[in-house]
Structure 1
Amino acid sequence: MNRAATTKPVSAPLAPAEVESILQEATDVLQTEGTALIKLAGRLNRDFCRAVQLLAECRGTVILTGIGKAGLIAQKISATLSSTGTRAHFLHPVEAVHGDLGFMRQGDTLIAFSNSGETEELLRLIPFVTSLDIPIIAVTAHDQSSLSRSADVVIALGTQTEVGPHGLAPSTSTTSMLGLGDALALVTARRRGFKPEQFAAWHPGGSLGLQFKTVRDLMRVGSRVRVASEEQTVREVLATAHIDGRRTGAIVLVDQQQRLSGIFTDSDLARLLETRHDSLLDAPIKSVMTRNPTTVMPDLLISDAVALLSERKLSELPVIDQQHQPIGMLDITDVISLLPAGSQPIQNSSRARAA
């Protein structure tokens, strides 16, 4: 089939005045919502602190609820709490009165999102929640609503001016809820002593989880690392230091005590040949190796190791133990996806020294 025949016709370019109008509208939306967040930050008081205390001391589950757009915000904050060390669950107000109330227990804490504080479906939950002596945190516009009067802690967002056509669609109010919810979750995480290692354990997938692995998790070991004695000649090392699988561009050299003494890379070999020092191929490799190369310990976070590779423009990092003996090799090809955008490490470079 001819693709050109099925492609939608390209619209005519927008006139300059229309481009300016669209961008101005978008700017107004962002500025209005940004201003609302700044005002909200200035409104925070002891009620926010009391809410954090309730969440930090919760020994059960933090239940988040809301309906419509507020419900979507509640779901997002539930996910943020869960990923930062606070057990949380979203409860849909309608599903709640059809059986889902059953998972609520004493020891839980409820966060209810409602801009008006008069959402009928939400208010139906309150008698059951209070009967279990579950503390309620209300995130709402004002402290005089029906929801507010039933809550133990009220975090008032203040009057919100919704943006967009006719100011009807929840926009500024939900942005404020989202910002407030993130603040609650992240401050609570700090109060609970949440650590990066926990974050790594709960985010094993994707590049985010990869950043929180350690060098030990990704380093090459055993027969995948080329190791040779510093007393061998360059020619002997090149002839015997074979490895299984994908080849790394560096050879780790050790002394008589099997401690790392240097590193010899493909770039080092290329320099010997380019400068016509072929005779050095039959000299001990310790005379041409890079001494004191940059090394890392196996428990270093991968994110820190990648930063070192990028900063020093390296392609390999020997991994050593407490006795300075090589136990692995971190190769840039195994972590290339984590390098900062625009980073250009020098392939097989070994000239950077440890600080």
Structure 2
Amino acid sequence: MSSLPARSVIEFSQFDQLRDAREIIFCEADALRQMGHALGTELCDAVELILSRKGAVILTGMGKAGLIAQKICATLSSTGTRSHFLHPAEAIHGDLGCLHSDDTVLALSNSGETEELRRLLPLFQKMNLPTIGITARKTSSLGRASQIVLCLGDLKEAGPHQLAPSTTTTAMLAMGDALSLVLSKARGFTPLQFATFHPGGNLGRKLTQINEVMRPRDEVRVTQETSSIRETFVRLSCPGRRSGAVIIVDESDRVTGIFTDSDLARLLEERRDAQLDRPISEVMTAQPTTIQSDASLEAAVELLKARKLSELPVVDQRQHLAGLIDITDVIGWQPQLAPATDKQAG
């Protein structure tokens, strides 16, 4: 039978709950502003050190600091800096073997006196691994053992008892984000590289390039400006998914127009049958909206939505046809995207 006394329930109104919650958020926000104003060129030194090393960034920390270290590790990895997490307790039982002489250590501890971490510091020094410490004070054990200290300052934890790591872990995370994203910019990390590391989920879809999903040119109906409509529709057939558009090009193979199945239906409805044997350039939509082949799929979807288009020719730098994005190819890409029914309006 448990010897713990029964826990009493303290009356705690919604007003009091919201007041306390807001105070906690404001406390953490104030701490971030304080830390941001105090930040100096030591962050630049940390960026320079990591960029000068060929190895990975090894993050380590115990308890809540370790959890924050794992998140920073993930941010570094996804933004162009190789990184791994090393658990301090596991490190002294064999995991130190994962370290390489070109690695850089990024150690997190608010007090700088965490026992498991302190046992690692002389081992890092023995292996000649430079250490960057994220800690409250430069005079702590971690601070003294680090070549560079990203100082959090003396921060008070949020909450009525100021016991649970809250403000300090928020500050560690913000410092890690600052370091990761400045590093990413210094490396010239691009959205395309980011997409390579995020092929799944919404981020992957947003950053997917058009050329990964477009219908290639050999699956697009293409004709010359001088071809008649009848000749075009009788002669042209393409393998794979059929699109409701014919792309018109000039003698230099540059895209000059588009003619859709809706345009054909409109001619028949208006009993303009004689036009079927006239050059397609007379009825095409001239200078159609196009998009570059190196653009993102997100940009293509936004263009389809904004212009209410069903087909979007994809061109290279010389305006030569590279492929086609059809509304049916991306209809499931974004839930809010409704199918367009209008033809290109030029």
RMSD of equivalent CA atoms: 2.7
Query: Do the aligned partners of residues 70 and 336 (structure 1) sit closer, same or farther apart at CA in structure 2, a change above 3 Å counting?
Result: farther
Report what 1:168 is aligned to: 163
User: 3-state DSSP class of the match of 1:329?
Assistant: strand
User: 3-state DSSP class of the match of 1:98?
Assistant: coil
Query: Do the aligned partners of residues 36 and 336 (structure 1) sit closer, same or farther apart at CA in structure 2, a change above 3 Å counting?
Result: farther
Report what 2:341 is aligned to: 347
Where structure 2 has 5 or more consecutive residues not aligned to the other structure, the ranges are: 1-11
For 2:13 and 2:339, locate their aligned partners in 1 and report how far apart those are by CA, in whole Å: 45
Query: Do the aligned partners of residues 252 and 184 (structure 1) sit closer, same or farther apart at CA in structure 2, a change above 3 Å counting?
Result: same
CA deviations 1:14-60 (Å, max 9, x no partner) are: xxx94444433332332222222111111101222222221222221
For 2:50 and 2:251, locate their aligned partners in 1 and report how far apart those are by CA, in whole Å: 58
Q: Indicate which of 106, 121, 129 corresponds to 2:124.
A: 129
Q: Indicate which of 130, 135, 145 corresponds to 1:150.
A: 145
Cα deviation for residue 277 of structure 1 reads: 4.7
Q: Does 1:62 align with 2:54?
A: no
Report what 1:43 is aligned to: 38
Report what 2:180 is aligned to: 185
Letter in 2 for 1:37: L
Q: Indicate which of 45, 53, 56 corresponds to 2:48.
A: 53
For 1:152 and 1:244, locate their aligned partners in 2 and report how far apart those are by CA, in whole Å: 63
For 2:236 and 2:331, locate their aligned partners in 1 and report how far apart those are by CA, in whole Å: 25
Letter in 1 for 2:326: D
Where structure 1 has 5 or more consecutive residues not aligned to the other structure, the ranges are: 1-16
Query: Do the aligned partners of residues 25 and 338 (structure 1) sit closer, same or farther apart at CA in structure 2, a change above 3 Å counting?
Result: farther
User: Quick check: 2:308–2:342 contact (8 Å CA) kept in 1?
Assistant: no
Cα deviation for residue 343 of structure 1 reads: 5.8
Query: Do the aligned partners of residues 33 and 262 (structure 1) sit closer, same or farther apart at CA in structure 2, a change above 3 Å counting?
Result: same
| Pairing of 1:299-338 with structure 2 (within 5 A) | 299-321=294-316, 324-336=319-331
| Pairing of 1:128-277 with structure 2 (within 5 A) | 128-164=123-159, 166-222=161-217, 224-255=219-250, 258-272=253-267, 277=272
Cα deviation for residue 153 of structure 1 reads: 1.5
User: Quick check: 2:217–2:321 contact (8 Å CA) kept in 1?
Assistant: no
CA deviations 1:63-116 (Å, max 9, x no partner) are: 100011110110111111112221211000000000011122322211111111
Letter in 2 for 1:58: R
User: Quick check: 1:265–1:348 contact (8 Å CA) kept in 2?
Assistant: no
Query: Do the aligned partners of residues 336 and 175 (structure 1) sit closer, same or farther apart at CA in structure 2, a change above 3 Å counting?
Result: farther
Letter in 1 for 2:168: S
Cα deviation for residue 170 of structure 1 reads: 1.3
Letter in 1 for 2:18: L
User: Quick check: 1:136–1:152 contact (8 Å CA) kept in 2?
Assistant: yes
User: Quick check: 1:113–1:139 contact (8 Å CA) kept in 2?
Assistant: yes
CA deviations 1:142-172 (Å, max 9, x no partner) are: 2222221211112221222222452222111
Query: Do the aligned partners of residues 34 and 350 (structure 1) sit closer, same or farther apart at CA in structure 2, a change above 3 Å counting?
Result: same
Off by >6 Å, runs of 4+ in structure 1 = none
For 1:74 and 1:242, locate their aligned partners in 2 and report how far apart those are by CA, in whole Å: 57
Query: Do the aligned partners of residues 334 and 36 (structure 1) sit closer, same or farther apart at CA in structure 2, a change above 3 Å counting?
Result: farther
User: 3-state DSSP class of the match of 1:124?
Assistant: helix
Report what 1:86 is aligned to: 81
Letter in 1 for 2:127: L
Letter in 2 for 1:61: A
User: 3-state DSSP class of the match of 1:204?
Assistant: coil
CA deviations 1:242-298 (Å, max 9, x no partner) are: 444433232212345554331012443454456565654454432221011122332
For 2:252 and 2:173, locate their aligned partners in 1 and report how far apart those are by CA, in whole Å: 59
When normalised by structure 1's length, the TM-score is 0.83
Query: Do the aligned partners of residues 243 and 47 (structure 1) sit closer, same or farther apart at CA in structure 2, a change above 3 Å counting?
Result: same
Query: Do the aligned partners of residues 141 and 336 (structure 1) sit closer, same or farther apart at CA in structure 2, a change above 3 Å counting?
Result: farther
For 1:151 and 1:321, locate their aligned partners in 2 and report how far apart those are by CA, in whole Å: 51
User: Quick check: 2:217–2:324 contact (8 Å CA) kept in 1?
Assistant: no
Query: Do the aligned partners of residues 271 and 257 (structure 1) sit closer, same or farther apart at CA in structure 2, a change above 3 Å counting?
Result: same
